Structure 1
């Protein structure tokens, strides 16, 4: 969806997901210890994924892609944050693969799936602080390239940098925990005219959250049909900024490239029925 700058693949994934018992959830992850398998994709889809994410044959594993998240996204902080925002706000239990919270890279020269299983990069010390043994005794070598090597990417350095990816992840997780709607609420996908914008409501008990993502690499404006919530005031939950009150007219938002909003709709909505909104409860 991000690469093609369209919301359709993401909505299709959720609207076609098989039903599960009400006391269960799907696990949502961006990467894990196995390759990104393309076994269930069509030949055309597989070729597109290879062309997009693994043009170098050494990045491929069997019929999958053996890369970590940061290299897959060209180490673009905006894309990394956008995808984690999706995982944190869509229905399911978010799973973060070790190292992705600091933007670790991979080593595609290692055999099989070992390229995404290198030692965690804790510090700039020997063996990235993972072990004090002789480096030759490590089961797998630490990542040592200029961009993703442990001297540049490690937990210790990011703890000291208030605007690091690690601190951003911790803040987002803390905010998510404040709102049970993310973990237990129903989801209602909105269908605005701008297909580059993915917007949905998460509702649980008396709380309604409006989540809006820009999947494009350029700024986007979107008109949302929210007249069913006329009279409510959106409050941005990350910085508590107050947005203009919702009315029966289309609600206009402008998002930065790969930008997103988490908005809490405060106040009693009107009794006017929403229009043009497809609801999917998971």
Structure 2
């Protein structure tokens, strides 16, 4: 019997990067596509399977590229369209796919479409955006995403005496997705980039794609699920193995609907970023209570069809905590970011993980081991693999979008002159937080992340959606079993600074002799479980172990 290979996105590691801060190929101080192309050998060595590009189009750059002025072009500072095509082609030659950000909730206020829309109420582009005579009453949808900056999602335009919708910043007017002309134009944009080699898109702000104006200029709800299903159908008709990865910061019950659970066919997003799981993970780390994470994963719906959740420690925005209660959010703030300058809009943190962990490499390694041990596709933000920090002097969410550190010293070739973002500095071992210093160091974070990527791809136990938590008397330790295609790996993580002994029982059926448990993360370490499946494993402070269960065991009863 021929085993069917899983879809490529199920066992790929996704790597999110900002072209302008990643690698400079021509020495002008801006990262660019030629520079990124030169780093493909590194990304292949690391084990990256898919690169997720943050916006690379021309923009006003008032929101780091998420205020697009031309969907069909490449920002000239980053290279040419030819440079982009050469990069995608070379990435494929390295076995790496590429997806791009699809920012279709809004455009820049300087986009030609919006400039035409503002010319008058009779403009043919008027209905491409959401215009009303008076903002609708009430406290429901729409809401302002950045209330500290723009309290209202409606902005008055004195030229035509109407208000336009902007759920994000006032310089980012919302497109009217209820307009068939707008949908058709978005399909042309999507088709254009698929033709140039992209393997899909990360759909920015997916839940916000819900408002439009119908006949008579009345605000009306756009069926976001019907629209995403329509978009998915178009994408797969052009490229059958292309994906839509959705930014859906919603509780599981609501987020799962974006995977197409309503129909059960998985006909909407291919993957959803797991925001609820991420937030529960940080709460569990703050309280040193792994049960919080376990309960979260157990209530997470299984994706339909070939769908998949995507897990991450943090993304390129603030580390958002808005799905937690106020008390829970404050617990995370107190543990990891107590200073006001570390917080963002009262709902998240402007920090990368090393600062949150106070530079404790043991704890940092444990968190990434935990991430890779969970049933989901892993998404990394560039620089996580070397423990990059942040720049709290940068504005808002730009604090974590620092130039990638390749060498000691200033560290970044994307900030050699007239840097778009000030080079990151780290008081903790500043010269060691770079690729050059860590690449050949077997004890470095970079070597650890590379090991996790390799093992999670080599061992089929990590390929499924299963998650079997095991009881243990060690209150601060998480023990769970990953099983797939007859292979078993016991994963243990100590959330505490105190050593622990985790006693677990593997329900594998009676064996004639002891069961060998080989530590994949610490070569040379091994344990034995009794024939009954009982085992006791020692965990040092913040230690993690992945124990491969000897072949020949039976499945769980």
TM-score, normalisation: structure 2: 0.46
Q: Deviations over 1:181-233 (max 9, x none)?
A: 21225221112222211111111122111111111111101221225344332
Kindly indicate whether residue 464 of structure 2 is the aligned counterpart of residue 184 of structure 1: yes
- Structure label with greater radius of gyration: 2
- Give CA deviations for 1:113-154 in whole Å, capped at 9, x if unaligned: 1110010011125x52323742xx2111001343264x3411
Q: Distance in 2 between matches of 1:230 and 1:185?
A: 26
1:58 and 2:58 matched:
no
Distance 1:209 1:162, change over 3 A: closer
CA contact (8 A) 2:415 2:421 kept: no
Alignment map for 1:114-263 (pairs within 5 Å): 114-124=398-408, 127-131=410-414, 133-134=416-417, 137-147=418-428, 149=430, 151-184=431-464, 186-231=466-511, 232-238=515-521, 239=523, 241-248=525-532, 250-263=534-547
Runs of 4+ with deviation above 4 angstroms: none
Q: Provide closer, same or farther for how the CA distance between residues 220 and 56 of structure 1 changes in structure 2, counting only shifts above 3 A.
A: same
Contact 1:229 1:268 in 2 (8 A): no
Instruction: Spell out, residue by residue over 1:15-64, the C-alpha distance to the aligned partner (whole angstroms, 9 max, x if none).
Output: 12233214111111101111011222212112222222221100111121
Distance in 1 (CA, whole Å) between partners of 2:309 and 2:364 is: 21
The 10-residue stretch of structure 1 (91-100 or 49-58) with the greater mean CA deviation from structure 2? 49-58
Partner of 1:277: none
**RMSD over equivalenced CA pairs, Å:** 2.1
For 1:261 and 1:76, locate their aligned partners in 2 and report how far apart those are by CA, in whole Å.
18
Paired residues, what number? 269
**Higher relative contact order (Cα pairs below 8 Å, separated by 6+ residues):** 1
**In 1, Cα distance between equivalents of 2:498 and 2:416:** 47
Q: More helix by proportion, 1 or 2?
A: 2
CA distance in 2, matches of 1:144, 1:45: 30
Question: Residue 249 and residue 13 in structure 1: after superposition, are their counterparts in 2 closer, same or farther (change >3 A)?
Answer: closer
Give the conservation status (yes or no) of the 8 Å contact 2:519–2:545: yes
After TM superposition, the structure 1 stretch with the greater mean CA deviation from structure 2, 244-253 or 77-86, is 244-253
Q: Identify which range, 152-161 or 199-208, moves more after superposition.
A: 152-161
The answer to whether the Cα contact below 8 Å between 2:302 and 2:465 also exists between their aligned partners in 1 is: no
The answer for unaligned runs of 5 or more in structure 2 is 1-283
Secondary structure at the counterpart of residue 314 of structure 2? coil
> Do the aligned residues in 2 keep the contact of 1:236 with 1:261 (CA within 8 Å)?
yes
Could you tell me which residue of structure 2 aligns to residue 16 of structure 1? 299
CA distance change for structure 1 residues 225 and 117 in 2, over 3 Å: closer, same or farther? same
Query: Does the Cα contact within 8 Å between 1:198 and 1:212 map onto a contact in 2?
Result: yes
Going from structure 1 to structure 2, the CA distance change for 1:152 and 1:192 (only over 3 Å counts) comes to closer
Distance 1:130 1:230, change over 3 A: farther
- Which of 62-71 and 190-199 deviates more? 190-199
Once residues 457 and 524 of structure 2 are traced to their aligned partners in structure 1, the CA distance between those partners, rounded to angstroms, is 16
Going from structure 1 to structure 2, the CA distance change for 1:246 and 1:44 (only over 3 Å counts) comes to: same
Residue 250 of structure 1 deviates from its aligned partner by 3.2
Corresponding residue of 1:75: 359
Aligned partner of residue 502 in structure 2, secondary structure: strand
The equivalent position to 1:3 in structure 2, one of 280, 283, 286, is 286
